[in-house]
Amino acid sequence: MAENATTTLQARLDPKSKRAVEDAAKLRHVGLSDYIRLVLVPTAKREVAQAKQQVLQMTAEEQERFWQALQAPAKPTKAQRRLGNIMRGKA
């Protein structure tokens, strides 16, 4: 495909989501297609690059929840303890 060629992208959104995208485009003073090119395309490229590098990017809220989970790991169930004993040769 030539570099200046374009193709069509169609997406189905619920009415609230569509309004949110339209409102975001208006905030940037651009049309819907331009907003998608300005926001969606760079985001998709960044996610693909991160996946190739095996990089995980989290929001501040996600980081906090992740940290809290690491600080209070779940206790193993009875079945998990049995399996652990089997794996260590103690069963």
Are the beta carbons of 77 and 69 closer than 8 angstroms? Answer: no
Q: What are the start-end ranges of the E strands in 7-63?
A: none
What are the structural domain ranges in the chain? 15-87
What is the predicted pLDDT for the residue at 88? 94
Torsion sign over Cα 41, 45, 65, 82: positive
Q: Please say if the pLDDT value at position 91 is more than 90.
A: no
The band of 55, judged by pLDDT with boundaries at 50, 70 and 90, is confident
Q: What are the start-end ranges of the E strands in the chain?
A: none
The band of 1, judged by pLDDT with boundaries at 50, 70 and 90, is low
Q: Please say if the pLDDT value at position 31 is more than 80.
A: yes
- Per-residue pLDDT averaged across 18-22, rounded? 96
